[in-house]
Amino acid sequence: MTIYDISEKAGVSIATVSRVLNGSRKVSEKTRRKVLDIIDRYGYTPNAFARGLGLNTMKTIGIMCADSSDLYLAKGIYYVEEKLRENGYDSILCCTGYELEARAAAMNLLITKKVDGIIMVGSNFIYEKDSDNQYIANAAAQLPVMLLNGELNAANVYSVVSDDYTSMYDATLQMMQSGIKDIVYFYNSTSYSGMRKLAGYRAAMLTQTDSTEGLEQFYRGSHEDIHAMTRYLKDLQETGLQFHGIIAADDTLALAAVKYAREMNYRIPEDFSILGYNNSMLVNCCEPELTSIDNKLETLCQHLITILLGLLEGKEMPNRTVFPGEIIKRGTTR
């Protein structure tokens, strides 16, 4: 028996059950009695550490990420931990890699550590098959699960996301309107966020062309090997594909595109335009500096922590919040 089971059997929200367990006065006597009757009937005993229900809480949050060497994920972890510390919470970090079995094991480990909630940093935790996401739903039956830039329709799972689709759609349109039609989309992830970006690029391109065949290029190598990314683009050019613009799914891929353009003796942005994604510190690591989409990572992290703390206080909070991105124009686009 979990708090989720109680809410389902009583026909009330998890937050309402939390209020009853906390003795809050913001619950009617009728509702309070309904919840307490379910608790008595099934012999529910709140966990001594309470999973953030205000009952001797451990004041600790579990954080999961796939790879802390990834610039985006590392920055997300930093912002999340910073906001947690400001609010008196400690954290336990698990770097899971990309295998489902390891992720499920990490989730179970955090639950045994009596954390008050779990934050999953990055959209790569969400799989296409519903059965592969069951470990998240199972965990959410016991404690709040927060998804940073990922979405899952399950009880007690809360998502804070950047509007990657619209950001990429707008960026692609702007590059086409600058006079470049043959734009390659250079990407290396099929995560939830990755596919939203791809869909935005594709929808914008199809407003002015019949097909993006050959222009959508998926790079399968290391996200740290910029030389290999550059070679990939050179090999692509040698196949005979003509392109004078690259929109990259992250700033590392975009830096490789800058390197490629330099080695091809293209003028940037007169002959060749490049746009990155994430607006990371890498935008200042090339000349000219890189145009990139700011997906408002710090804002997403701040809002995610606000929602989590609200849940732990027994408040009703939105299940999904979306923030718009912003194109930060610099020297690599016209």
Per-residue pLDDT tens for 239-265? 999 999 999 999 999 999 999 999 999
For the chain, what is the domain count? 3
Same domain, residue pair 172 and 268:
yes
The pTM is what? Answer: 0.84
Whether residue 76 is contained in a domain is answered as yes
Same domain, residue pair 109 and 91:
yes
Tell whether the model's pLDDT for residue 52 goes beyond 60: no
Least confident of 43-47, 105-109, 245-249, 269-273: 43-47
Same domain, residue pair 123 and 180:
no
Pair type for strands 320-323 and 157-162:
parallel
* Tokens matching residue 332: 């690599």
Whether residue 129 is contained in a domain is answered as yes
Tell whether the model's pLDDT for residue 105 goes beyond 50: yes
Same domain, residue pair 146 and 75:
yes
3-class secondary structure, 174: helix
Least confident of 10-24, 117-131, 196-210: 10-24
CATH of the domain at 33: 1.10.260.40
E-strand ranges in the chain read: 60-65, 90-95, 117-121, 145-148, 157-162, 183-187, 216-218, 245-248, 273-277, 291-294, 320-323, 326-328
Same domain, residue pair 302 and 158:
yes
Whether residue 329 is contained in a domain is answered as no
CATH of the domain at 252: 3.40.50.2300
Same domain, residue pair 63 and 99:
yes
* Residue 243, pLDDT score: 97
Same domain, residue pair 284 and 309:
no
Same domain, residue pair 170 and 153:
no
* Residue 21, pLDDT score: 77
* Residue 42, pLDDT score: 83
Same domain, residue pair 71 and 10:
no
Arithmetic mean of pLDDT over the chain: 93
Whether residue 330 is contained in a domain is answered as no
List the domain range (segments joined by +) for residue 32: 3-42
Same domain, residue pair 129 and 214:
no
Same domain, residue pair 168 and 288:
yes
